[in-house]
Structure 1
Amino acid sequence: SSKESPHPLIAVGKHFARTIEAVTLPQVVLIEGAQLTALLKDDPDTELDTPEKRLLNAFQRLITYHPSIEEKLVKANGISKDELDAVQLEIRAKGGSSARSDDMRGIKINIVEWIRMKPDEELTPALLPKQKTGRGFNHPRTGFLLCPANMNWEDPKVQDGLKSGEIDPYEDTPMFMYEGYKYYPLEPWKGFFKSSILVKAYKHVFTTPSSAEEGFSKNRATRPGNARLRGMTAVTPASLAYIAMMVRFALTDQQTFNRNDMVTYTERFYTDVLDHLEDPDETEELESLLLWWNTRVFPAHVKIAGASSGKNTVLAAIKKARAALRALTNTNSEANGHVSEDGVVNEGAEQPAGGSGQSTAVPQVTT
């Protein structure tokens, strides 16, 4: 018999984990999100803490992506666990777990090539693509990339502290998140979230694995990627945090996403990154960052300022110039005569001394 097709909600679960919320179970997001929605409906002035805001944002994004969920789950007086469809929730949980497994496997294998100093230069000591052994702070390259950006990996004391655990590597942003793997203390935002390894990993997961190996804004792959399959046309803060979490894990020597790690390091890293990206104080920088990412991952969907707004195009400039010419001609005609339908001042109209009735001024065209 033919292989049974996967339930469509598994795909929803995968997209949920990759782009909406990676470390909180869908059940929790649905229950807590619906309850918070009901709470705010009753009292709009309620102040939510950061975890509550994150849950509510995830819930709102989920029902925006899959509207029928709201119809099934949200009711006037909130929602209870008994009202949840257990089967659907289990499927979504399986989808999220499957997404993490698939993505982690692919990134773990390919990252060995992505982190080379030069494309044709092997790592020393060598790392096996399918094994995590030897990675982390015990390897000079992965250790450098995992090292907090504000610390000097070349300092033996720093290396010893990170290897022994005396220095907590999760207190600060790792070096692999910066463009060119360079950190500027006086400009900590410069190059943040713009490293080549993050771009490659993002393309590997959301467009196609082959596009991760291609140049800027290129994607010649014929198979549709996860983003295309799910109708995704723009990078989201949660998807950036997800990829950063995947890359960090791939660089470490940890073998699995164990429960203890999920509660401590991995979840902490993901939520810290996501909270920072969604901080209202970072709105301007985030918009700039998302534009930077979208030009590299979804170039066909990037709207360049003025390009399609109809306000600053050449045709708009011509239209504006013609309108200015008509206005100028109408003004002259009111003072000196009348204008024919084709816009030419009638010859019989009285002209001012030394004038022709038609202005020689050329309307300024602004683009």
Structure 2
Amino acid sequence: MSSDENDGNVSKPTKRPLEGLALTKNKRRKAASPDPLIAVGKHFARTMEAVTLPQVVLMEAVKLRVRLNEDPDCVLDSDETRLYNAFQHLIAYQPSIGEDLFKAYEVSGKRLAAVQEEIGVTLQMGGSRARSDDMRGIKIQIVEWIKTNPNIALNPPLLPKQKTGRGFDHPRTGFLLCPAHLNWDDPTVQEGLKSGEIDAYEHIPIFMYEDFKYYSKEPWKGLFKSHLLVKAYKHVFTTPSSAEEGFGKDRATRPGNAQLRGMTAVTPASLAYIAMLVRFSLSNQQTFNRNDMVTHTEKFYTNLIDHLGEPDEAEEVESLMLWWNTRVFPAHTKRAGASSGTNTVLAAIKEARAALKAVTNADPNGQISEGGAGVANATTQQPDGGSAPQSTQSTALPHVTTA
């Protein structure tokens, strides 16, 4: 993985630069600053929409926006919902895109088409670069990640930079790509997958499950919790070294892509993106093609997005996002939990100060009688774990209980 530090990165998106090349004092040409939309395109592909061309997203989303304005009660199908949601996330992240599009819409259809094409092509350029970088890194590292024993090489061995020998031709990658509901140890299943008689790519592969275990009576259990997905996610969004460390540990000194983009939480689309890249890296497919009719890459990705967006799955997805955030963004997850908690030391201090202020305001002279309002029997923890009573004659602090 290469971080996007040279792509006009900033945590907050910026306006696009003027066109053309800048000149030095000697009037020599120097490369112009990278278009910030290149970086936005990378983030868009990784976290919002990975398989539909940005030009198409922009075109369809504007049509849908007009339709929804005319009929707020109209119902969108799954593809329309996915594209419209991606567009909404995009203009929230980079508001100038929405501004440019709707200004063009008010001018003419021709102007709108030109702006959609210009923005879309630049976003596509960024997305292609991101996907290429991410696939290259995961393809190499996954050979180590899938070992059953880190000290023992795969048998037969796999070359990190080559796809030859992967897929159902290899016992380890074949097992990981095997549909979760099938038994890879069954020779008939293996032969069917190798020959194509069994369409593996219509189903969820076992590599997406925690500990590579599938429970037929609880098909949701462990889904999206594979350590392979966690490693690949960290490799792309935090840093490659963080993929090899435990929770909250990272030896890297340079910021990762998530930090460069101001990303502090996992998104369903980013999970689907990583699953798509891991699936590709395990396969023997030489080139990535979103419209490939054998591996059905686009269908695989959109099926995951649709599933994670199902209203009936909302509770499970919320729990899943929390699980992921504690592993990828633990600092932000803890901070969010602490800010809303009431049973904390900081909350107790705040409560105590509020009570003291209320008592003081009740007596203008600041005199608080012994045993009066605000006086309580506080306790202090002793080294042996017990507690000893405190004198209440010299304090007006109310009773404070700490977790």
Same structural fold, with TM-score higher than 0.5 when normalized by the shorter chain: yes
SS in structure 2 of the partner of residue 261 of structure 1: coil
Trace 1:224-235 onto structure 2 (pairs within 5 A).
Answer: 224-235=255-266
Does the 8 Å CA contact 2:352/2:400 hold for their aligned counterparts?
yes
SS in structure 2 of the partner of residue 247 of structure 1: helix
SS in structure 2 of the partner of residue 124 of structure 1: coil
- Structure 1 residues not aligned, in runs of 5+: 348-357
Q: Using a 3 Å threshold, how does the CA distance of structure 1 residues 266 and 78 change in structure 2: closer, same or farther?
A: farther
Aligned mates of 1:273, 1:307 — CA distance in 2: 31
How far off is 1:6 after superposition?
Answer: 2.9
Aligned mates of 1:315, 1:97 — CA distance in 2: 47
Does the 8 Å CA contact 1:35/1:79 hold for their aligned counterparts?
no
Q: Using a 3 Å threshold, how does the CA distance of structure 1 residues 160 and 81 change in structure 2: closer, same or farther?
A: farther
**Please, which of 184, 188, 201 is the counterpart of residue 170 of structure 1?**
201
Q: Using a 3 Å threshold, how does the CA distance of structure 1 residues 137 and 77 change in structure 2: closer, same or farther?
A: same
Deviations 1:26-57 (A, max 9, x none): 11111111111111111100011110100110
Does the 8 Å CA contact 1:306/1:313 hold for their aligned counterparts?
no
Deviations 1:284-308 (A, max 9, x none): 1111111111111111211467522
Aligned mates of 2:160, 2:330 — CA distance in 1: 30
Deviations 1:243-287 (A, max 9, x none): 000000000000002364179700000000111111111111111
SS in structure 2 of the partner of residue 302 of structure 1: helix
Which residue does 1:209 correspond to in 2? 240
Deviations 1:193-225 (A, max 9, x none): 111111111111111112212222212201111
How far off is 1:82 after superposition?
Answer: 3.6
Aligned mates of 1:263, 1:68 — CA distance in 2: 39
Which residue does 2:73 correspond to in 1? 45
Trace 1:129-140 onto structure 2 (pairs within 5 A).
Answer: 129-140=160-171
Q: Using a 3 Å threshold, how does the CA distance of structure 1 residues 78 and 185 change in structure 2: closer, same or farther?
A: farther
Trace 1:338-353 onto structure 2 (pairs within 5 A).
Answer: 341-344=366-369
Which residue does 1:352 correspond to in 2? none
TM-score (norm 1): 0.86
SS in structure 1 of the partner of residue 296 of structure 2: helix
Which residue does 1:272 correspond to in 2? 303
Aligned length: 347
Identical aligned residues as a percent = 68
**Please, which of 142, 161, 166 is the counterpart of residue 111 of structure 1?**
142
How far off is 1:190 after superposition?
Answer: 1.6
- Structure 2 residues not aligned, in runs of 5+: 1-28, 373-392
How far off is 1:341 after superposition?
Answer: 4.3
Structure 1 counterpart of 2:279, one-letter code: R
Which residue does 1:355 correspond to in 2? none
Deviations 1:93-144 (A, max 9, x none): 1111111111111111111111000111100000011110100011000000
**Please, which of 225, 242, 263 is the counterpart of residue 194 of structure 1?**
225
Q: Using a 3 Å threshold, how does the CA distance of structure 1 residues 8 and 326 change in structure 2: closer, same or farther?
A: closer
How far off is 1:69 after superposition?
Answer: 0.5
Trace 1:188-337 onto structure 2 (pairs within 5 A).
Answer: 188-258=219-289, 260-261=291-292, 265-303=296-334, 307-309=338-340, 311-317=342-348, 320=351
Aligned mates of 2:194, 2:168 — CA distance in 1: 6
Aligned mates of 1:94, 1:159 — CA distance in 2: 39
TM-score (norm 2): 0.79
Identify which range, 100-109 or 67-76, moves more after superposition: 67-76
Which residue does 1:94 correspond to in 2? 125
Q: Using a 3 Å threshold, how does the CA distance of structure 1 residues 252 and 79 change in structure 2: closer, same or farther?
A: farther
Which residue does 1:26 correspond to in 2? 54
Q: Using a 3 Å threshold, how does the CA distance of structure 1 residues 260 and 311 change in structure 2: closer, same or farther?
A: closer
Structure 1 counterpart of 2:139, one-letter code: K
Which residue does 1:122 correspond to in 2? 153
**Please, which of 37, 43, 62 is the counterpart of residue 9 of structure 1?**
37
Aligned mates of 2:58, 2:325 — CA distance in 1: 29
Q: Using a 3 Å threshold, how does the CA distance of structure 1 residues 124 and 81 change in structure 2: closer, same or farther?
A: farther
Aligned mates of 2:206, 2:239 — CA distance in 1: 25
How far off is 1:320 after superposition?
Answer: 4.4
